[in-house]
């Protein structure tokens, strides 16, 4: 019989940026912006508390019931370990903006599975890191945000023989990132719905070459970042849903700044290798801009 721990457990999970230009559904970075969550087992019932992003119940906030994404991930992890708790309290302090291409859903899923394991005595023996990552990627449907949210840093991920894989690579310490976050979001399913089913072979070949170059650029040759972040597969195709985003990407790239759509958008991520005050100074009116580091740690369970 499963034994649950007494008292709350806490976890922090980083924001992430996926795709990074040509690395569609395969490359992702953890960023130094974190959600903070706490959970504990109750004798009965479910209590969900939210502050920050998604807290406004009158304005399309996140649900406070079993459909909450963190709760769903926790339930899936408890099933993996063999038993559900009698009741739960979940408290979320959400700093990662929702529907902006910064991995808020992956952060929620990763937080949920890590919290659930932390609430089970001996949880590490019942659910390994690999098992939790597989579960999180299954829940999300693709691993490019889940992998850096779980493991931290720069991660190359994908699926092989019905299993997910994630390989970390070091990031050149000179590289930083600035994110330009617009005031309104775009749902991932809307952005994905704009992608064509078939792409020209030449575009696929060009993209694969730039994705390979991007790994080299991020891991030690940042002078190649501008060329390495060129994309043919998904950014311009999504322009109808986020015209201001693509306009900003083009303006920055025309000035030699390696700028990309973050994830499915509409946030723009720009890589820097020195003082980024000039990039912050280009923040469009009404947007929120943040100078972030590449976060080496993924989800961290706090004691």
Q: What's the confidence (pLDDT) of residue 235?
A: 94
**123 marked ligand binding residue:** no
272 belongs to an annotated ligand binding site: no
pLDDT at position 192 is 85
Which pLDDT value is given to residue 243? 96
The response to whether 211 counts as a known ligand-binding position is no
Residue 34 assigned ligand-binding role: no
Q: According to the CATH classification, is domain 3-169+295-302 in 3.90.1170.50?
A: no
Pinpoint the residues of the chain covered by CATH 3.30.230.10.
3-169+295-302
Task: Write down the pLDDT at residue 58.
Answer: 64
The response to whether 262 counts as a known ligand-binding position is no
Where does CATH 3.30.70.890 sit in the chain?
176-292
pLDDT in tens, 149-191: 999 999 999 999 889 999 999 999 999 999 999 999 988 888 8
Q: Is 105 marked as binding a ligand?
A: yes
**Per-residue pLDDT tens over the stretch 69-94:** 999 999 999 999 999 999 999 999 99
Q: Is 224 annotated as a binding residue?
A: no
Task: Assess if CATH 3.30.70.890 describes domain 176-292.
Answer: yes
Segment 184-233, tens digit of pLDDT: 998 888 888 898 899 999 999 999 999 999 999 999 999 999 999 999 99
Q: How far is CA 227 from CA 27, 180, 211, in A?
A: 16, 20, 10
Per-residue pLDDT of 240-260, as tens digits, reads 999 999 999 999 999 999 999
Question: CA 39 to CA 118: how far, in whole Å?
Answer: 9
Here the tokens at position 99 are 């529907």
- Whether residue 30 is annotated as binding a ligand: the answer is no
- Please state the φ and ψ torsions of residue 74, each to the nearest 5 degrees: -60, -45
Consult the annotation and say whether 279 binds a ligand: no
Mean pLDDT of the chain: 95
The annotation status of 26 as a binding-site residue, yes or no, is no
- Sign of the dihedral defined by the CA atoms of residues 2, 13, 238, 165, in that order: negative
Taking residue 91's Cβ as centre, other Cβ atoms within 10 Å add up to 16
DSSP category for residue 223:
G
Residue 157 to residue 143: CA distance in whole angstroms: 6
- Is 10 annotated to bind ligand? no
């Amino acid at each position: 019989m499963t034994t649950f721990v007494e008292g709350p457990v806490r976890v922090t999970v980083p924001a992430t940026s996926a795709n990074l230009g040509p690395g569609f559904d395969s490359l992702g970075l953890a960023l130094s912006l974190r959600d903070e969550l706490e959970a504990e087992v109750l004798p009965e019932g479910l209590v969900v508390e939210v502050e920050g992003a998604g807290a406004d119940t009158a304005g399309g906030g996140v649900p406070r019931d079993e459909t909450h994404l963190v709760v769903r991930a926790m339930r899936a992890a408890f099933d993996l370990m063999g038993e559900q708790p009698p009741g739960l309290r979940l408290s979320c302090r959400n700093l990662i903006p929702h529907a902006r291409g910064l991995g808020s859903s992956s952060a929620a899923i990763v937080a949920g599975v890590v919290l659930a394991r932390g609430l089970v005595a001996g949880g590490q023996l019942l659910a390994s890191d690999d098992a939790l990552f597989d579960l999180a990627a299954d829940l999300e449907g693709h691993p490019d945000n889940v992998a850096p949210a779980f493991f931290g840093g720069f991660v190359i991920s994908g699926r092989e023989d019905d299993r997910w894989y994630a390989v970390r690579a070091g990031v050149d310490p000179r590289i930083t990132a600035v994110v330009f976050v617009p005031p309104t979001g775009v749902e991932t399913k809307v952005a994905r719905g704009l992608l064509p089913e078939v792409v020209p072979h030449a575009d696929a070949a060009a993209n694969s070459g730039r994705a390979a170059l991007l790994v080299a650029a991020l891991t030690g040759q940042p002078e190649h970042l501008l060329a390495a972040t060129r994309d043919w597969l998904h950014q311009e195709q999504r322009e109808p849903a986020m015209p201001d985003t693509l306009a900003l990407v083009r303006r920055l790239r025309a000035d030699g700044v390696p700028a990309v759509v973050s994830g499915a958008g509409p946030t723009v991520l720009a890589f820097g290798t020195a003082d980024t005050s000039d990039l912050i100074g280009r923040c469009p009116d009404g947007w929120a801009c943040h100078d972030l580091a590449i976060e080496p740690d993924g989800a961290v369970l706090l004691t």
